[in-house]
């Protein structure tokens, strides 16, 4: 359950150029991408500025309006991103670029292009770069990692725009934010937003991520309805990189928490590593045959990620996979399993290209899907793999 967050009503400010006529790529629930110019968006769908642009992957003319149920994602074509250095990471997965203004008791004030936020410390997982919470364990104490590599532990006792105060026993240490790489708060575990009903995820050009119940507006500004309560955030379209509809007809596996994670390094004692990396949520990318991949799950062998699913809820599992460019010597075996039984297997997967789309029809009794990577001919040498665009397609779509 999301906790209360106070926020400014205006996000950013309009730039000199209008977003009207800007080129967007719209991915629909049939996995067809259309290049569109957005004129308006509301609770029912997206209206195009001019219904004449051809689909990027289809010779037919894209429709003048897309029903919201058919929309998976709206992404700016060739976005000019400017990733921020520091983010406020909330337990629900939202992250807001900016900096600390003050700490009053248990309430932190944060300010950036997204306005001013007042947040209870229990809502905060970390302060740091976009990757600050990537597979991070929940610490027993507040942990400050400095840019020189040192780590300090204690309790955050105070903070302002220039420095934070860390209390450890009877000792108090003041640390300038300029020297802080990241801060992780004790006891605040991730509490992802439920997808029982579809929600909207907005990513801005600076890497901030916001959630909302719905989004509506014209070619210049969009209003994002807060997940709890009646609050509305006004987002300047020129500052938006991407709008996703999560939990709709297409459900990305990366937006669901695995029910089981198995990770067995070849040398467990000498190769500490992350079990998996969700590229989209952490703001990281991989490269396959020179093409940047943003929506994938990065793993190494041996690994097995399993998701429990409700029987009858999904009709199909759809994905691709590839060994990334930074693992040119990699060689792995991949398996896709439904209820523990292999439905797809490929040996000797190497770098250089993405697989064809793998489509698996799910029986109405299916209760789990698993993605497994095993050692190939090179054992653990550069044994990396990216599960790309892995998605469940709901029944009846």
| pLDDT tens, position by position, 320-359 | 999 999 999 999 999 999 999 999 999 999 998 999 999 9
Is 297 found in the same domain as 342? yes
Question: CA–CA separation, 140 vs 161, rounded Å?
Answer: 25
Q: How many domains are contained in the chain?
A: 3
The DSSP line for 189-210 is ---PPP-SS-EEEEEETTS-EE
Q: Among 225, 248, 271, where does a domain finish?
A: 248
pLDDT at 306: 97
Which range in 50-54, 88-92, 334-338 is most confidently predicted, on average pLDDT?
Answer: 334-338
- Is the per-residue pLDDT at 274 higher than 70? no
Q: Among 209, 232, 248, where does a domain finish?
A: 248
90 or 379: which carries more pLDDT confidence? 90
53 or 315: which carries more pLDDT confidence? 315
Is 145 found in the same domain as 29? no
pLDDT at 52: 46
pLDDT at 209: 94
Q: How would you label 372-394 residue by residue, b for 16+ Cβ within 10 Å and e otherwise?
A: bbbbbeeebebbbbbbbbbbbbe
Is 223 found in the same domain as 318? no
264 pLDDT tier (thresholds 50, 70, 90): confident
- Is the per-residue pLDDT at 10 higher than 60? no
The enclosing domain of 285 has a CATH number of: 2.60.120.1060
Question: CA–CA separation, 44 vs 65, rounded Å?
Answer: 10
- Is the per-residue pLDDT at 114 higher than 90? no
Percentage of the residues of the chain whose pLDDT score is greater than 70? 89
Is 118 found in the same domain as 69? yes
Is 114 found in the same domain as 206? yes
| pLDDT tens, position by position, 213-252 | 999 999 899 999 988 878 888 889 999 999 999 999 999 9
The enclosing domain of 158 has a CATH number of: 2.30.30.100
pLDDT at 269: 55
Mean pLDDT along residues 111-136: 88
What are the structure tokens assigned to 208, written together?
């901030």
Is 317 found in the same domain as 241? no
Question: CA–CA separation, 397 vs 395, rounded Å?
Answer: 6
Percentage of the residues of the chain whose pLDDT score is greater than 90? 62
- Cβ contact 254:278 at 8 Å: yes
Is 50 found in the same domain as 164? no
7 or 218: which carries more pLDDT confidence? 218
On average, the pLDDT of the chain sits at: 86
Mean pLDDT along residues 366-388: 92
| Strand bridging mode 10-11 / 232-236 | parallel
pLDDT at 140: 93
Can you say whether the dihedral through the CA atoms of 243, 246, 251, 254 is positive or negative?
positive
Question: CA–CA separation, 392 vs 359, rounded Å?
Answer: 10
Mean pLDDT along residues 159-174: 94
- Is the per-residue pLDDT at 18 higher than 70? no
Is 225 found in the same domain as 90? yes
Is 204 found in the same domain as 176? no
- Is the per-residue pLDDT at 22 higher than 50? no
9 pLDDT tier (thresholds 50, 70, 90): very low
pLDDT at 212: 93
Is 203 found in the same domain as 57? yes
Q: Among 150, 167, 186, where does a domain finish?
A: 186
Within 8 A by CB and 6+ apart from 186, the residues are: 138, 139, 140, 141, 142, 143, 155
CA 370 to chain centre: 20
123 pLDDT tier (thresholds 50, 70, 90): very high
- Cβ contact 315:391 at 8 Å: no
Mean pLDDT along residues 285-294: 88
Question: CA–CA separation, 82 vs 100, rounded Å?
Answer: 20
pLDDT at 233: 86
> Domain span at residue 181?
139-186
Separation of first and last alpha carbons in the chain: 29
Mean pLDDT along residues 115-126: 93
Is 69 found in the same domain as 10? yes
19 pLDDT tier (thresholds 50, 70, 90): very low
Is 111 found in the same domain as 79? yes
192 pLDDT tier (thresholds 50, 70, 90): confident
């Amino acid at each position: 359950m999301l906790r209360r967050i106070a926020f400014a009503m205006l996000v950013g400010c309009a730039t000199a150029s209008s977003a009207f006529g800007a080129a967007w790529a719209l991915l629909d629930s049939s996995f067809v991408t259309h290049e569109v110019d957005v004129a308006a968006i509301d609770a029912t769908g997206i209206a195009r500025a001019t219904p004449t642009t051809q689909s990027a992957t289809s010779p037919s003319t894209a429709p003048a309006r897309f029903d919201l149920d058919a929309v998976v994602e709206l992404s700016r074509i060739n976005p000019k991103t400017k990733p921020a250095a520091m983010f406020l990471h909330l337990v629900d997965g939202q992250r807001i670029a900016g900096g600390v203004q003050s700490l009053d008791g248990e309430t932190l004030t944060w300010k950036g292009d997204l306005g001013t936020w007042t947040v209870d410390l229990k809502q905060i997982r970390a302060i740091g770069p976009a990757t600050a919470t990537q597979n991070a364990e929940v610490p027993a104490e507040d942990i400050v990692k400095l840019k020189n590599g040192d780590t300090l532990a204690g309790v955050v006792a105070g903070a302002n725009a220039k420095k934070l105060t860390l209390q450890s026993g009877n000792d108090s240490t003041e640390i300038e934010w300029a020297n802080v790489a990241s801060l992780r708060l004790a006891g605040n575990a991730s509490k992802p937003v439920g997808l029982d009903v579809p929600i909207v995820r907005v990513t801005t050009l600076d890497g901030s991520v916001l959630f909302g119940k719905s989004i509506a507006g014209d070619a210049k500004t969009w209003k994002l309805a807060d997940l709890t309560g009646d609050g509305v955030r006004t987002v300047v379209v020129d500052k938006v990189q991407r709008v996703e509809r999560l939990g709709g007809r297409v459900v990305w596996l990366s937006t669901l928490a695995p029910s089981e994670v198995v990770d067995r390094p070849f040398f467990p004692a000498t190769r500490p590593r992350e079990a998996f990396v969700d590229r989209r949520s952490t703001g990281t990318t991989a490269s396959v045959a020179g093409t940047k991949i943003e929506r994938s799950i990065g793993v190494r062998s041996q690994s097995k990620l399993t998701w429990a699913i409700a029987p009858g809820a999904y009709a199909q599992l759809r994905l691709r996979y590839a060994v990334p460019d930074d693992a040119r010597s990699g060689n792995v075996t991949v398996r896709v399993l439904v209820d523990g039984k292999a439905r797809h297997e490929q040996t000797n997967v190497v770098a250089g290209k993405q697989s064809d789309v793998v489509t698996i029809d799910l029986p109405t009794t299916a209760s789990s899907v698993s993605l497994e990577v095993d050692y190939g001919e090179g054992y653990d040498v550069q044994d990396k793999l990216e599960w790309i665009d892995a998605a469940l397609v709901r029944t009846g779509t």
